[in-house]
Structures are given as C-alpha cells and as structure tokens.
Amino acid sequence: MRFEGRMISIGKASGYVIKLSKPLSFLGEVDGCTGDLNIIHDNIANKILVFPRGKGSTVGSFVMYNLMIHKK
Amino acid sequence: MYESMGVRTTCSCIPYTGPNVPNFGEHVAWSESSALSFVNSFIGARTNREGGPGALAAAIIGKTANYGLHITKNRKPTVIINAEIDESIFSYSLLGQAVGMTIGDGIPYFCGISPGLEEAKAISASMAASGSIALYHVEGITPEASKYDISDLETIYISKDDLDVAYDKLNNTDNVQLIAIGCPHLTEKEMHQISHFLKGKKKVNKDVEIWFCTSNDVRKKCEEDVRIMEQFGRVLTDTCMVVTPIEESFHSTGTNSAKAGNYLPTLCSQKVMFNDLIKLMEVVI
C-alpha cells in the first residue's frame, strides 16, 4: 500500500503500521504516557501511525511531547 | 517566571476579550484551537493552528514560519455552507459540530447566519473540536468574507437532519451529576444573560452540581451576576470542566458546548447531555 503525506522532518523509518480511517485528536484519543489508543484497542509505541489528518485540540502537541518523554 | 519577563498571564481560552488583541492582518502564532479560529476569522489576524510549544517558541523569538494561513491565497474559502438556525449560542455550537463532522477541514464560507462575538466563540470552538477548522468566513460579517471570489465553490446545505446527527453524536445520557457551562469561557455578556435568567429562581435539585467557568478578569467585572449564579453553583475562574479530573467525582455531565461534548467522554470518562442552557437549567430549577 502506498500513502502520500506531508513531510515535516527528513528521515527514514520502518515498522509495524497502524492505519486509522478517521481523523485523530491526540488529546483524548492517545495516552501520552503509554501510547495507548482509546478509539481502537491498540498501542502506537514504536510503530508507524498513519491517519488522514489531525483534528481537535492544539494541546495534542503536548501529548506528542509526552510520548517522546516516555520514549513511546 | 513569565511575569518577570514582562509577559501578561491569563489562564483563559478567550484571551481575545482581554486587553491584548491583535489587529486585522497582523501575523500571530496562537494555540488553543477555538481562540485561534476566532482570531483568524472574526478579527482577521493570521495564525496557523499552533501547539503550545510552537506558540511559545514564536513568542520568544518574535517570529513564526510564513506558511499556511499567513499567506493570503491560502485563506480563500474552500466550500460554501448554507444553514438556517435560530440565533442561540447552542445552535451555533451544534452547527459547528455538524460542519466539522461534515467537512473535517478546509475553510467554510457561511451564508445565512449572523454571529456576534459569543456565537462566533461557540462555532469556532465546535468546528475546531469536531474537525480541524482554523479559519472560516461569514457573508456580511467577518472582515475577509468579501475579498474572495466564491463563484466556483461547491455549496453544502446543512439540514435539520445533519444537525440531528450532530446532536445524537454528543448526547448519550439523560441523567447528569454535573452541569458545566462556559466552554469556551463565559463572556461578560453571557454572565449577564445567565444571571438575568436565574434571578428569582430557586435550585430545587440539590444533587446536581453546577459549574460556571470564566476568566478571572470577567468574574471581577461581574460581581452582581456572580452573586446570583453562586446561589446555583460555583463560578470557577481560569480553569474548566475539560482540564479538570472531574471523573474522580462525576460520571455524567451536562453542557451546552459541543467542544466540551467532544472531549468529556475521552478526556474525563463522562457520559454527556448536550443541550441548550435553559434546557439544562430545567434539570435543577
């Protein structure tokens, strides 16, 4: 499968892909400490997350920061 | 620390009602999805959907990256939204929910509505919660609405059925333990309206707690309103029902805010009753 996205940072990665069909709000839908998703039963830690676009709170950026702090 | 650097601090999601409001065309870097949509749309300042860290970085260096909604051609409407609603805050919140669910992102151009500040606050918040809309135009109302050629745009009609779908999406209980009003924070005008409605009434149902959320500045200016509102519940400042761990005390919350209706289930494990302020107050009076 091939996805086109918007590049923010240069790099290469490989891993297990979680593909969401709906837009994602990191705030409320991703646990910043564990990487757990609460919209489906899965965890994004050390995986490649594919989603059509973001939605919702700009506090989502802090959730991403939290994921990084917790090495998820 | 920030105050010692000369930063004026306010813990409110409606900073655009305070003393430091950008001008039309000015480039800013705002976070808070509802506030940045308001300032883009209703004031005509220019910002992308920044997160807190990006906004803070921009504040420190006094610059922000020149892309996205800072550039005029990217501010052109992408779809026309035709809707007929009554003029209540709740209806604007519901319409925003429906539009966010229908188009997700893009720049809607509204016909047939006439939002004032409070209504724009509500629709900005709900479109940014149900979707990721950071800018909209309203025919005859917002400052950039007449600047763009919209003749080639598709028109989406938001029907009563669409509003019902949005309403059903956010409503999943008939019983509430808490009623939380003020998402985004109540303005002075809303404080006056609520106290006017509550004056002379009595809270009969003591089992339901009520929170009115606003900023410290607004509360200070509304002493008489606060006196009446506190006969019914708490007037909380510089916080709200979404950023508080209410799940430790409550399982179900009533709100007139679609934004709160989106986040209460996921952030605070709440069942939600989403309805007009007066209908919510009928639960307790």
ipTM for this model: 0.78
A29 touches chain B (CB under 8 A): yes
Query: CA B99, B46, B125: angle at the middle one, nearest 5?
Result: 30
Q: What tokens appear for B2 in the block?
A: 């920030």
* B33 neighbourhood in chain A, CB within 8 Å: 56-58
Q: What is the pLDDT of residue A4?
A: 86
DSSP letter assigned to residue B168: H
Residue B8 has a pLDDT of: 81
For β-strands B271-274 and B234-237, DSSP reports them as unpaired
In sequence order, which residues have a C-beta less than 8 Å from that of residue A68 and are 6 or more positions away?
none
Contact between chains at A56 and B262 (C-beta distance less than 8 A): yes
**Does A23 sit within 8 Å of B129, measured CB to CB?**
no
Q: What residues have CB less than 8 Å from B155, skipping those under 6 apart?
A: B79, B80, B81, B82
Distance of alpha carbon B190 from alpha carbon B106, whole angstroms: 30
Q: What is the mean pLDDT of chain B?
A: 95
Give the nearest partner residue to A28 out of B54, B104, B266, using CB atoms: B266
CA distance B100 to B79: 12
Residue B180: in which H helix or E strand, if any? strand B178-186
For residue B161, pLDDT beyond 90: yes
The mean per-residue pLDDT over the stretch B190-199 comes to: 97
Q: Which residues of A touch B49 (CB under 8 A)?
A: 58
Look at B51 and A58 and tell me if their CB atoms are within 8 Å. Answer: yes
d(C-alpha B79, C-alpha B91), whole Å? 20
Output the furthest CA–CA distance in chain B (Å, rounded).
56
| Angle subtended at Cα B18 by Cα B8 and Cα B45, rounded to the nearest 5 degrees | 95
Give the residue on B whose Cα is nearest the Cα of A55: B132
Interface test with B, best of A6, A36, A53, A57 (most B CBs within 10 A): A57
- What share of chain B has pLDDT > 90, as a percent? 92
B138 closest CA partner among B178, B184, B85: B85
Could you read off the pLDDT of B125-144 as tens digits, one per residue?
Answer: 999 999 999 999 999 999 99
Q: Which residue has the tokens 């809607």?
A: B108
Tokens of B193: 């309206």
Helix (H) or strand (E) holding B137: strand B137-138
Q: What is the mean pLDDT of residues B40-69?
A: 95
- Could you tell me what percent of chain B has a pLDDT over 70? 100
State which H helix or E strand residue B198 sits in: helix B188-198
Per-residue model confidence (pLDDT) at position B38: 98
Q: Which amino acid is at B106?
A: G
Sole residue written with tokens 């990721």: B132
Residue A55 touches partner B, C-beta closer than 8 Å: yes
pLDDT, mean of residues B200-218: 96
Asked about A57 being catalytic, the answer comes back as yes
pTM: 0.92
DSSP B282: T
Residue B9 has pLDDT above 90, yes or no: no
Residue pLDDT, tens place only, B70-129: 999 999 999 999 998 998 999 999 999 999 999 999 999 999 999 999 999 999 999 999
Residue B123, pLDDT score: 98
Q: What are A10-54's pLDDT values in tens digits?
A: 999 999 999 999 999 999 999 999 999 988 999 999 999 999 989
- Token pair recorded at residue B127: 């479109």
> Cis ω on the peptide bond leading into residue B184 (within 30° of 0)?
yes
CA–CA dist A70, A54 (Å, integer): 21
Place of tokens 């009076």: B285
The contacts of residue B222 (CB under 8 Å, 6+ apart) are B188, B191, B192, B195, B214
Question: Nearest CA of chain B to the CA of A24: how many Å?
Answer: 9
Distance CA B163, CA B95 (A): 6
DSSP string, B233-281: SEEEES--SSSS-GGGT-SEEEES-HHHHHHHHHHH--EEEE--HHHHH
Token pair belonging to A32: 């910043």
